[in-house]
Amino acid sequence: MIIAIFGLGYVGFTAMCCLAKEGHQVIGFDVSDKKVNQIREGISPITEPGVDVLLAQGLEAGLISAHTEIRDHIDRCDMAIVCVGTPSAPDGSHNMTFIAEVTRQIAVSIAGGARRTAPLTVVYRSTIRPGTVAGLIAPILASELGDAFETDIELVYNPEFLRESSAVQDYFDPPKIVIGTADGKPSARMDILNRNISAPTFYVPLGEAELTKFVDNTWHAVKVAYANEIGRVCLQLGLSASKVHEIFVSDTKLNISSYYMRPGGAFGGSCLPKDVRAMQYIAADCGAHTHLVDSLLRSNDAHKYRLLEQVSRGLPPGASLLVVGLAFKALTDDLRESPNIDLTRGLLQAGFRVSVFDPAIDASKLVGANLGYAYTQIPTLSRMLVDRQTAETTVYDRVVLTNATAKLLDLATFGDVIDIGSLK
């Protein structure tokens, strides 16, 4: 393919070199005369292992060129990849000036150029907030192209996952490929672009693709901050932070895995809330100042409230609900700090009529902390529990599934069902 790249910084220049290695003809654009002249002379504008060799090979093969003005170059292109910067504004939002201007230039070039026989696939790799392609980029293109926008442009959002010092390796061996399109369906040209790359590939609507980079980078920041907070606790207590880290990362079944990472219900039970509070106390007592850890319970409480809002939205006053699963874990009667207890209490306080199906719980057999927590929160618990037959034959305004207890019921008998264990 013939591919235009707008923005020859770290991401754009690396892409230029790697695409040329794949045999594509790459036409690069940048506002910097110095950068464009360096590329033409075979000098890499960035310091990154491997790009110098790829640049030299691409220039020798006649597959790389660099320019400051679009002119008519884009007329013969199959694809345009936008990699311009989106620097932070003072309020933390992204400054979209460069995105808007490059988009306008692309549109003007297409509108004033030769009639296209096939759409130009315009791919954005700059980090942009969800809604930017649909709410900013598409309107700019449509305003310049008019009716031709529908026939001359294929819009794609394709975030990059390059790390400094291993960018070339990451380009050809990425952890994943995420491709956002207007309808979430595959793009033939993107398939050609990635045909030699083996990685899990996700075709999704534009918004999900746009959010991907924020999710990834925020998680990486959380990991660093958490590791450093635990490291401070270790230092304050005279413990070996490296040894604690070695133990932690050795657990790839729970600690370093996808477990606990699926959006759904709040955390609870006999261990997590108790131990988070204890870690907060330990950190405060030794002066480690663990702000991330200190925020966990507040974040969890906020999530509980959000789930209550989700479950009760649209219900008339006094509506009847069936909560399926009261214990923190299905098939157990452990009610200690179960978020499902909090949800049920919230529904009762809102004036709804609530029944509970959880065959693992026998109110007459609850003892100790289970008994105390359950009846402190829900004094009428014994009257709310129903058996399977009652659950499946009663008509409820809404049924709320909280855990795997739902597998014990024939869900086909219910109408309005919400599964809070899986946020979609």
Q: What is the pLDDT of residues 162-179, one digit of tens each?
A: 998 999 999 999 999 999
Whole-number Å distance between alpha carbons of 105 and 70: 8
User: What rounded mean pLDDT belongs to the chain?
Assistant: 94
SS3 364: helix
Q: Looking at residue 260, what is its pLDDT?
A: 87
* H-type alpha helices, 42-96: 51-60
Choose between 340 and 114: higher pLDDT: 340
Whole-number Å distance between alpha carbons of 299 and 301: 5
Mean pLDDT of 405-416: 93
Is the confidence at residue 374, as pLDDT, over 90?
A: no
271 labelled catalytic: yes
Whole-number Å distance between alpha carbons of 44 and 36: 10
Q: What is the CATH number of domain 301-419?
A: 3.40.50.720
Catalytic residue among 17, 77, 271, 286: 271
Q: Within the chain, which residue ranges are assigned CATH 3.40.50.720?
A: 2-209, 301-419
Whole-number Å distance between alpha carbons of 350 and 356: 16
The total of other beta-carbon atoms located within 10 Å of residue 134's CB is 16
The total of other beta-carbon atoms located within 10 Å of residue 93's CB is 10
Q: Looking at residue 61, what is its pLDDT?
A: 98
SS3 50: coil
- 188's torsion region: left (phi>0), alpha (psi -120 to 50) or beta? alpha
Q: Looking at residue 422, what is its pLDDT?
A: 73
Distances (CA, A) of 287 to 17, 228, 282, 283: 50, 14, 8, 6
Whole-number Å distance between alpha carbons of 286 and 3: 57
Q: Looking at residue 365, what is its pLDDT?
A: 87
Q: Which two structure tokens, joined as six digits, stand for 98?
A: 């460069």
Q: pLDDT tens-digit profile of 41-60? A: 999 999 999 999 999 999 99
Domain spanning 2-209: CATH superfamily:
NAD(P)-binding Rossmann-like Domain (3.40.50.720)
Q: Are 73 and 108 in contact (CB under 8 A)?
A: no
Low-confidence winner among 15-24, 365-374, 398-407 (lowest mean pLDDT): 365-374
According to DSSP, the β-strands at 353-357 and 398-401 are unpaired
Q: Are 350 and 316 in contact (CB under 8 A)?
A: no
- Specify the pTM: 0.87
Q: Are 106 and 68 in contact (CB under 8 A)?
A: no
Q: Please provide the DSSP assignment of 112-159 as one string.
A: HSPPPSS-EEEEE-S---TTHIIIIIHHHHHHHHTTHHHHHEEEEE--
Q: Which two structure tokens, joined as six digits, stand for 164?
A: 């400094």
Q: How confident is the model at residue 328 (pLDDT cuts 50, 70, 90)?
A: confident
Backbone angles phi, psi at 340, to 5 degrees: -75, -30
Is the confidence at residue 423, as pLDDT, over 70?
A: no
Residue type, 249: V
Q: How confident is the model at residue 424 (pLDDT cuts 50, 70, 90)?
A: low
Residue type, 235: L
SS3 276: helix
Whole-number Å distance between alpha carbons of 308 and 341: 11
Task: State CA 336 to chain mean position distance.
Answer: 31
